[in-house]
Amino acid sequence: MLRALVGGCFSFANGHATAGDLLACELVCDWLREAGMDFDVARAPGLGDGGLDWAAADPAAYSHVVYVCGPFERGELETGFLLRFAGSRLVGIDLSMLAPLADWNPFDLLIERDSDRTANPDITFASTRPRVPVVGVCLVEDYPGAAVGEANAAIGRLMAASAVARIDIDTRLDENRTGLRTAAEVESVLARMDAVVTTRLHGMALSLKNGVPVVAIDPQPGGAKVQRQAQVLDWPAALPVDAATDAALRAALDYCLSEGGRERASECGRRAARRVDELRTSFVAAFRGSSLPDRAPDARTATEVSVVIRDLGNESWLADAIRSVEAQSHRATEIVIVPGASAAAARGEFLVFMDADERLLPHALQTGLNGFRLFPDIALAYGRCRQLSADGRIRDPQPRSARADPYVAALADSPLDGPAILYRRSAFESAGGFTAVTDASGHQDLCLRIAAVQPVRGMDVLVAERLVRDGSPSLRAGPTLAASVRTLAAQWPLVRNAPDRVRAFAEAIRRARIAARSPLIGHLRASLSSGRLWEAARSLGRLLGYLPPWLRSFALQLRTGTRPDP
């Protein structure tokens, strides 16, 4: 009886079999059928169905043994295989013979791929096995509110049950687990897929852009941005994770691999490109003017801002302050000039208070409003204010702290400067406005009272500056520090039982000392260097008035258990 056993590196569990080896095996099986020869295939587990273990096969059952594909040498696996079937006719096909044939050729018939006598094309050129669709899988990482694990499991079952070639594609570029380095590389891989299965919005968008059908699974139950984008694009093969049953995903993938699915994907891509071109036109038109239009007010965030300027009796200072308000990128609704800090005459939904010796930087109002747009529930937003001395020196403020508790953040950032704060009018009024007791540090007192009961937000952005000149309120170091000490002392009951608040309280005292004395010391140095001895003498007198509240601040800081610094 004539019967052949087909073997090769795919016959061994550790034989390093490749796709080419298996295609060559299938082709030789086709040729044996054509020759009318019955056969079995010796396959290691996991390398195809219907194979048998060559070590358990009966050698007497085979008249021929055909060894297929790959490099061939006198190795342990090869010689062990051939020795077991030494009583059969041995045939070698598509082999690279590593030793000269004169030294070793165990085959009765050898049709080599290459040897020292000849070379032939690899026989896989004649393979006619049908190819399977190539499907990219693009997964989002886990994030709050998403059932990513559930979505990934559903995709895993879909891929395991489908006759497709899976290609994992990662769109992240800060760290990419599939070795892609640029956006162009990511899009190029997506564009070459027959279909894509994804939980990422841009996995869907970049696929449809290139006419590649996509099974889009929104990982948030009920659907969110992925589902919304699919609706905008009118793409049907998208569903939220809670609707991603195995049957629904199978039907979606079948649609994507159909001719109709590919045509629909191409049309979605073209239609989306036309709509985006309309967005481009609107975007470019907005920038062609002198400035972007003001954002229209909505139910959460109005844009009417009143700037209240306290007149200090110096017309030049006041004129400069007004000009800084008029130069804002977001135009103020009104400028109100008052002798004291009062909102009575202001009508805006948002309020800024400043002295005539202070200036707003051009983006100050826009920065504050953006804070409210990002955090619509806050009562006030504050930035940073720097000091400019008479001799041109600049003292930049310390960076704003990043604390989860807004009260702790406001405490650590104290003292807060008036022109750097944008109040919501309703919060200002509900807190009772400024108090007469702490007039010199009214903003610090008011901000802490508000932060104790409502959310506030600090932004590490420079938005204002204060000019330190002879006659400026900022030179009144003693009264300024005294008011800060009174304000902070009133906060102690809210602070003492919380360690994080106690640390912020100690920091606030240190900052209060620096903020009170720095303008005066800078002015003293400038007066001495310019020979203005009378002004220097006045500054020395003010510095003496700083000592009593300085001592009181030390006593207050001792409550925190920290060692006071000068």
pLDDT tens digits, one per residue of 1-35: 799 999 999 999 888 999 999 999 999 999 999 99
Q: What is the mean pLDDT of residues 244-249?
A: 96
Looking at the chain, the number of H-run helices and the number of E-run strands are 16, 18
Q: Report domain extents, the chain.
A: 3-126, 134-284, 305-558
CATH fold of 305-558 reads Spore Coat Polysaccharide Biosynthesis Protein SpsA; Chain A (3.90.550)
Q: Are 461 and 385 in contact (CB under 8 A)?
A: no
- 77-86, 174-183, 412-421: the lowest-pLDDT one: 412-421
What is the predicted pLDDT for the residue at 291?
A: 53
Average pLDDT, rounded, for the chain: 86
Q: Between 285 and 211, whose confidence is greater?
A: 211
pLDDT at 254: 97
- pLDDT value at 191 more than 90: yes
Token look-up 């559903």 returns 154
- CATH number corresponding to 3-126: 3.40.50
Q: Please determine, for residue 218, whether its predicted confidence score (pLDDT) is greater than 70.
A: yes
Range among 141-155, 377-391, 434-448 rated most confident? 141-155
| 57 contacts 42 by C-beta, under 8 angstroms | yes
**Which residues face 42 on adjacent strands?**
52
Label residue 352 by pLDDT band (50, 70, 90).
very high
Least confident of 100-114, 308-322, 423-437: 423-437
Q: What is the pLDDT of residues 263-272, one digit of tens each?
A: 999 999 999 9
- Domain with residues 134-284, CATH architecture: 3-Layer(aba) Sandwich (3.40)
Q: What is the pTM of this model?
A: 0.63
- 244-to-153, 157, 158 alpha-carbon distances in Å: 10, 11, 10
* Per-residue pLDDT at 300: 37
The model's pLDDT over 44-80, given as tens digits with 9 standing for 90+, comes to 998 888 789 999 999 999 999 999 999 999 888 898 9
User: With 0-12 CB in 10 A as exposed, 13-18 as middle and 19+ as buried, what is 335?
Assistant: middle
* Residues near 148 by beta carbon (within 8 Å), at least 6 away in sequence: 139, 140, 141, 142, 199, 219
Query: For position 423, what pLDDT does the model report?
Result: 94
Please give the Cα distance from 402 to 532 (Å, whole number): 42
Identify the pLDDT of residue 408. Answer: 81
pLDDT tens digits for range 529-553: 777 776 667 667 766 676 776 777 7
Q: Decide if pLDDT at 311 tops 60.
A: yes
> Helix, strand or coil for residue 490?
helix
Above 50 in pLDDT, residue 297?
Answer: no
Are 134-284 and 305-558 the same fold in CATH?
no
Cβ count within 10 A of residue 438: 20
Output the furthest CA–CA distance in the chain (Å, rounded). 125
Q: Is the pLDDT of residue 231 over 80?
A: yes
Q: How far apart are CA 226 and CA 208, in angstroms?
A: 13
Indicate the range of 394-403, 489-498, 547-556 predicted with least confidence: 394-403
Residue 218, C-beta contacts closer than 8 angstroms, at least 6 positions apart: 199, 224, 225, 226, 227, 230, 238, 239, 240, 241
Higher pLDDT, 342 or 18: 18
| Mean pLDDT of the 180-196 span | 96
Which position has the higher pLDDT, 213 or 79?
A: 213
Res 518: pLDDT: 64
Whether residue 105 is predicted with pLDDT greater than 80 in this model: the reply is: yes
